[in-house]
Amino acid sequence: MNGSYFKDKVIIITGASSGIGLASAKLFASFGAKLSLAARSMDKLTAQAAEMSDDMDRILCVRTDVSREDDCRTLVEKTVEKFGRIDILVNNAGISMRAMFRDTDLSVIRTLMDVNFWGTVYCTKFALPYLLESRGSVVGVISIAGFAGLPGRTGYSSSKYAIRGFLDTLRIEHLYDGLHVMIFAPGFTASNVRNAALTADGSSQGETPRDEGKMMTAEECAMHLAKGLRKRRSEVILTPIGKLTVFMHNILPRLTDRLEFSYMAKEPGSPFHK
């Protein structure tokens, strides 16, 4: 892929210390972009950033908990202070969960919404004036769970649906002033999101129930993200099963419900069974 489109563009990436965020940061750095990287773990973030470029003046690391409004404001302010503009905002930070809703403490749902949905809203709100000025791009990394409810992940699906609704509406509001809004929906992608997924009481799951080796890699996912940005697409849905799920959900929703239930019930340690 020709990465000249991203040369010297200022790109904010949340959740940049691992998974899709980290792979995207490495890819954009190789294209010559200027990066503002956000994550909660500053040590991890700076260590990763040092491997991306010999010129650390082109990379800014900002400790950011996206569930905190002030952190998101600071992220944007520091980015503009250092680079003078914002061209692309990638709202990637997120967490998952795995439990039946009937068993789930409500604090788990609040945490999912605070990080996934409100983190996207906060960062977008503060970056928007600069994105409008640059006629730039705002991306929401959601999931197939943002198109079709995923059993055992009520909080996760709810937050991803909410992000999709928010960004779809934002796109319409700015239809004629140059803002590019993209919904980016990976299918199952190899990352640590399932290891860190919350259980019914809010504790970390600790291990993934799936074979990560059979999934799309974070690096492949990052390449699709870059292509979608370069083409200024409004929606990108990845993986054959992801595309099939969204298609089936639109035309045969009840059948898709049953197929999803059966598919997810086969996970080792699934919280529900036939």
Is position 176 annotated as part of the catalytic site?
no
Among residues 122, 130, 156, 161, which one is catalytic? 156
Please report the DSSP string for 1-23 in residue order: ---GGGTT-EEEEESTTSHHHHH
Paired sense of beta strands 180-185 and 235-237, if any: parallel
| Residues 6-21 pLDDT 10s | 999 999 999 999 999 9
Given a cut of 70, whether residue 210 has pLDDT beyond it is no
Structural element, H or E, at residue 265:
helix 253-265
**Closest alpha carbon to 152 in 272, 274, 246:** 272
Structural element, H or E, at residue 26:
helix 19-30
Mean pLDDT of 137-165: 95
- By the 8 A CB rule, do 37 and 13 touch? yes
| Structure confidence at residue 215 (pLDDT) | 75
Would you place residue 55 in the very low, low, confident or very high pLDDT band (cuts 50, 70, 90)?
confident
The domain locations on the chain are 4-239
Residues in the chain, total: 274
| Residues 107-129 pLDDT 10s | 999 999 999 999 999 999 999 99
Class of domain 4-239: alpha beta
Structural element, H or E, at residue 224:
helix 218-230
Placement of tokens 């800014």 in the chain: 60
Cα–Cα distances (Å) from 30 to 34, 58, 148, 165, 252, in that order, read: 10, 12, 35, 32, 43
Helix (H, G, I), strand (E, B) or coil at 34: strand
Would you place residue 78 in the very low, low, confident or very high pLDDT band (cuts 50, 70, 90)?
very high
- By the 8 A CB rule, do 238 and 138 touch? no
- By the 8 A CB rule, do 49 and 56 touch? yes
Question: Strands (DSSP E) along the chain, which ranges?
Answer: 10-14, 34-39, 59-63, 88-91, 137-141, 180-185, 235-237
